[in-house]
Amino acid sequence: MRLLVICLFALLVVLSLLGSGTLNGVVGAPGGVPSSVTQWWGSLEPLARQYEVDPLLIAAVMMQESGGDPRARSWAGANGLMQVLDGPFEPNSNLESGIRILATNLKTFKNVRAALAAYNAGPGMSDADVASNPAQRFAGVRGAARQAGASVADFDKYYVYLPAETRKYVPAVMAYYERFSNGTATLSATGGPIRMPLDKFSWTPTFGKDIGNGQAAHSGEDLMAPCGTPVKAAFNGTIVYRGCLYGNCRDGGATNGATGHGLVVIEQFDANRYAVYAHLANYVTDRDVKAGDMVGTIGMTGWTLGCHLHYAIWNGSLDDLLKDGGKGWVDPKQYFPTAVLSQ
Ligand SMILES: [Zn+2]
């Protein structure tokens, strides 16, 4: 009997060790990452430390590139776990090649999204190199920035000039990154966790279109949900403005003589990027917010024909935003998780 108890105890110990992963080489791998990726954690984690890149960002890139399959091969000749062009298939060297490229991109572009775009579309050529390769003028991240007349760190301004595949790739990796880090990761100011400002909503893309509200081009996206629905910060940031914008704060919408954006909360989430939450009924008075913190509730203030959140992203200075320079609105969809975009 005692022997049986000891055996059972030993079995339980072994089972619990298996369960916590200490027997299969994934010590310290985070829970939200699929096992197809965590099986490489023993190689990934030390390389992440060596190259000073967040291991969860590497895991997100690997998930998107190969799903953790070391034999993956693309039609374009990208190989292995990290889909390195003409790279080795051997997992360790493939990982190191991919991480080295990612680390270089992060240092060069100083913006997580730009670094991911460069991982997918290539960094593009410097001004000096373009002189002798004019055909490459608009290739890669530098090429897109050149086309937009923007700096390479100013991702929002040249996002639309990137190849269609890259415009899907960046939010896809960011969505994995957000999921793997469980909303707790903090990258640089431009790469923190992102969420939608509403938990449940319906929408039809209208950014840049004439929706009959007096603007030639709609400056954001309208997310439909009942009045009173909590509006949550989409980013880690700071509330820098609460009040009426471009009109009055009258309640009841356009038919009641309300104009402009009504009551808004403006959140700064980067040096020159602001999220605008408009037509609110009220706001909550926090200064610093984390993604997911409540900032107010949906109302019908300003020019609106029904309860909804007008969600817009401004790239530029707060002064220009408050004066409505008109040129700073960027497509908020680049900050939408892919699950929302594919709805
Ligand atoms: Zn709107």
Average pLDDT over residues 4-29: 43
- How many angstroms is it from 63 CA to the middle of ligand 1? 35
Same domain, 165 and 112: yes
Is 312 domain-assigned?
yes
Give the span between the Cα atoms of 209 and 216, in whole angstroms: 7
Going by pLDDT thresholds of 50, 70 and 90, the confidence category of residue 279 is: very high
Same domain, 231 and 271: yes
Told to judge if 65 belongs to the known catalytic residues of this protein, a careful annotator would answer yes
Same domain, 172 and 58: yes
Same domain, 53 and 189: yes
| Residue 11 pLDDT exceeds 90 | no
Q: Specify the number of domains making up the chain.
A: 2
- How many angstroms is it from 12 CA to the middle of ligand 1? 58
| pLDDT digit string, tens, across residues 42-87 | 999 999 888 888 888 999 999 999 999 999 999 889 999 999 999 9
Give the span between the Cα atoms of 144 and 141, in whole angstroms: 5
- How many angstroms is it from 225 CA to the middle of ligand 1? 13
Contact 283, 233 (CB under 8 A): no
- How many angstroms is it from 266 CA to the middle of ligand 1? 15
- How many angstroms is it from 229 CA to the middle of ligand 1? 17
Q: What is the pLDDT of residue 174?
A: 85
Same domain, 253 and 178: no
CATH number assigned to the domain comprising residue 158: 1.10.530.10
Same domain, 91 and 142: yes
* Averaged confidence pLDDT in the chain: 85
Tell me the residue length of the chain: 343
Same domain, 178 and 249: no
How far does the chain reach from its first CA to its final CA, in angstroms? 60
| Residue 4 pLDDT exceeds 90 | no
Is 24 domain-assigned?
yes
Alpha helices in the chain (DSSP H): 2-20, 35-38, 41-51, 55-65, 91-109, 112-121, 127-132, 140-148, 155-158, 164-180, 318-323, 338-341
Going by pLDDT thresholds of 50, 70 and 90, the confidence category of residue 154 is: confident
Same domain, 63 and 162: yes
Cα distances from 178 to residues 7, 57, 174, 304, in angstroms, run: 43, 9, 6, 32
Is 4 domain-assigned?
no
Q: Among the options 45, 65, 96, 178, which is catalytic? A: 65
- How many angstroms is it from 199 CA to the middle of ligand 1? 18
Contact 111, 159 (CB under 8 A): no
Same domain, 158 and 28: yes
- Residue numbers of the domain that contains 255: 221-341
SS3 content of the chain, % helix, strand, coil (to 5): 40, 15, 45
More confident residue, 283 or 16: 283
Contact 286, 295 (CB under 8 A): yes
| pLDDT digit string, tens, across residues 211-255 | 887 778 899 999 999 999 999 999 878 999 999 999 888 998 888
Q: What is the pLDDT of residue 205?
A: 92
Is 139 domain-assigned?
yes
Same domain, 33 and 136: yes
- How many angstroms is it from 84 CA to the middle of ligand 1? 42
CATH number assigned to the domain comprising residue 337: 2.70.70.10
